[in-house]
Structure 1
Amino acid sequence: MRIGLLGTGPWAQMVHAPALDAHPEVEFTGVWGRRADAAKELAERHGTTAYDDVDALFADVDAVAVALPPDVQADLAARAARAGCHLLLDKPIATTVEQGRAVVDAVREAGVASVVFFTTRFLSDAEAWITEQAGVGGWFTARAQWIGAVFTSDSPFAASPWRREKGALWDVGPHALSVLLPVLGDVRHVAAVAPGPGDTVHAVLQHAGGASSTLALSLTAPPAAAGSTVELRGEHGVTVLPESSEGALPAFGRAIDALGEAARTGTAHPCDASFALRVTEILTAAETLLTVQKG
């Protein structure tokens, strides 16, 4: 599969480009970025081509991987789909329902495949655990904590404008939802408050399966307090999402595999654009409540 990369920031440099370069079934065709000099530098590092014209890249590839802010990603993803490119997107797919729906509509109309890289869903131990717990059922409640120190450390993402604007709800909230939704079912009701420091948000969700879940999300925790966990409690006892040492690179390699399979078979992946749109809808509902509270 010929794949082009859109984006040149830290995530593109750390994960997307190395994974595309190393994948045995991928021809890493080229890089486009909003800064031509950064695209040229990243392309040279991986022995591929820098494109000044994004439409020219679309014409030369079978698929695009996108490592751009969500509002930029959404418009380009819809454009790429209309050009016939399969999509390997990042979470969140968009920060408005309208933009997310435009991506889904473009994917459906063009008949292309889509996979959205919710990192945890492509870690082998985590995905096996999620599949197992979804089959067990009988869950009563769940607790998800995604506590980061992006804004209180030397993280390469600390200066990210969209993260500064949208905060933990939109950056790590998708990770929590990507684990909870396949196990507990869709969300029927959302409650959210922001009583914590910085961008810390707490949310309570009522799921279609009858269970409730609580989310604690932050990017402003002390570095020593950072970490993530998901705990389920139900008829069969208590279980916790296993920790993984795999890292994002092998996980992204599996996402590439998933896109290839979806493109070959025409079978939608569980983490496709439609699933990502549902995540955006839930986060938008929570954000609306928080905006009302701020008055």
Structure 2
Amino acid sequence: FAAAPLPALERVANFRELGGLATRDGRRVRRARVFRSGHWGRASAADVAALDALGVAVVVDFRSEKDVAHEGADRLPDGCAHLHLPTADPAAHLDTRDIILSGDAALVRAHFGDGRAERSMRASAEKLAVERTDVFGAFLAKLAEPGCPPALFHCSAGKDRAGWAASCLLLALGVGEDDVVEHYLVSNRTYDAAMQHGALPALPDEVLALVRPLLQVRAEYAHAAIGAARARFGTLDAYFREGLGLADEQREQLRANWLEPA
């Protein structure tokens, strides 16, 4: 069936749902039940009302303490449960913002040129997968609680930390890897829209070209994370069980919570 359109939020980026994606066993992710986005630190009253209307009652925030201090605490509907699982932003390296905003092409090239930006993002994706298993295990455990209500998870931009969280959830539910990567890449629409509407700082074209790998998501980043999980644990099933600590019974409950017949 056709999905009802999601509300267009005013001050929250990259808001979308995971519903509708098919699993290998013939089911699909439930519509209008689990959502992802950028941060809610500057959400408008209309944004908060829209989230409330969707019935979202659990919000998982992957931002670091530094992110929260800079962007503001989440503005959420009254009574919404908030789970903070602080994780450093893979794209926010020390002094990265100052280097980019300098507009100095030579300085930016020295830090991010010759493939360094891409290599850094691949390495960060791998680290998220295998070094923050505590965070993503806690995330899946929360969503595997019996009767878990509609949920939202987010980081700052909603692309890297939230991207791996979405990939973990979808893979655990049985969605195929190609579809998981395709879902991950949808975050680039936010980047494209920001470029189109001038929402990014006015920077020289050469600087934007050099830092684009930090501002976008790429299939190679998703494959790097999935590959790292497999390399460390042998299989994705072992990654969920041994790495994230998700018992088989929890995984079945996760599927009961978030899947429906196709």
Report the TM range for the smaller structure's normalisation.
under 0.3
TM-score with structure 2 setting the length: 0.25
- Bigger share in strand: 1
TM-score with structure 1 setting the length: 0.23
- Bigger relative contact order, structure 1 or 2 (CA pairs below 8 A, ≥6 apart): 2
